[in-house]
Amino acid sequence: MKKVIQTSAYKNLYNEFESFVRVRNYKQGRGKMYQGVVSEFLMWLEEKGITKIQDVNSEISIQYFDYLISRPKQRGEGSLSSKSIKFHLFVLGLFILNLLETNQIEKAFYIPSYSEVNENPRNVLSIDEVQLLYNKAQNQLETALLSLAYGCGLRRSEIHLLDVRDIQLSKGMLTVRKGKNGKRRDVPISDSILEYLKKYILEERYQKLEGKNQLEEAFFINSRGQRMSGEHLNEILKKMIEQTNNYELIQKEITLHCLRHSIAYHLAQNNAGIDFIRRFLGHSEINTTYLYAIKNKKRKPVTNF
């Protein structure tokens, strides 16, 4: 039996969109395909228990995008082609325009852009591989570096610019004062990560500063007691990976930014909301978060602790 829209309000929206398409002559040889896209979207919302178009937000839109790129074709084998996905998103954009023009919604919900990326996605570590790095860390600096890049999801530049005062041990909070495009954000720190950072600050970092500039504010300092460069931080991570003697891990060519991708992926795997992940990583656009977390989520399962 063919599925049909059940909700009266959605039936009205469908009919209004049909008129919208007809008046603007959006046919281009596609017949009822425009209406079919909107009908599928509205029926998907009904299946999710969403019966008011005003309740649709960016997170729900991302979920629908996730559904589109994984759903099988209605005819033939395989999933939707890149061209079909782009058409669906184009039509949904028209649908939103119609909703705005008819005052059904006050603000447009987000529609992701789609492009078929040919390059390999940035490498992501499994939880087991992250745990291996922690286990093989040879000092508190190495453990603290992992804790900031993976545990707090910081960019390499953010780690480089981090000062000791930016970590509030009593509150369990880290402040990124100079993120991408100069944005500031606060990052919550778990108890285990907080303990690693505290030990580094009070023990290893304190010892490194003996006989040197005691006023140095940088979190990571080199042997001269000065702020450590981003290149040096990446070199430390490379050495940490080599000391695991794990061939597969070494071949992945992991950088600090890969650890940032990894925590986003693991948060998504554990059903963290995409908006939480966006704030945690300091992204301006939710689409960037989708590429970091949700798209990578399809690659392979991870092993839990």
Active site residue 278: no
Taking the CB of residue 182, how many other CB atoms lie within 10 A of it? Answer: 7
The answer to whether 283 is a known catalytic residue is yes
Given 88, 205, 208, 260, the catalytic residue: 260
User: CA 217, CA 285: separation in Å to the nearest integer?
Assistant: 32
φ/ψ of residue 221, rounded to 5: -120, 150
Is 261 one of the annotated active-site residues of the chain? no
Catalytic residue status for 212: no
Question: Sign of dihedral through CA atoms 200, 203, 205, 208?
Answer: negative
∠ CA 254-115-271, nearest 5°, is: 60
Structure tokens at 212: 């040197």
The residue annotated as part of the active site, out of 208, 266, 283, 297, is 283
- Which entry of 180, 185, 198, 238 is annotated as an active-site residue? 180
- CB-based contacts of 200, cutoff 8 Å, min separation 6: 140, 141, 143, 144
Question: Active site includes 232?
Answer: no
Please name the amino acid found at residue 292: Y
Closest C-alpha among 123, 132, 138 to residue 246: 132
Catalytic residue, chosen from 185, 198, 257, 279, is: 257
Residue 299 annotated among the catalytic residues of the structure: no
How far is CA 55 from its chain centroid? 23
Spell out the alpha helix ranges (H) of the chain.
Answer: 8-23, 33-47, 58-70, 82-101, 127-136, 140-146, 156-161, 191-199, 206-208, 230-242, 247-251, 256-269, 274-281, 286-289
Q: Which of 155, 160, 205, 295 is catalytic?
A: 155
Rounded Cα–Cα distance for residues 231 and 244 (Å): 21
Catalytic residue among 88, 290, 292, 297: 292
- Report the catalytic residues: 155, 180, 257, 260, 283, 292
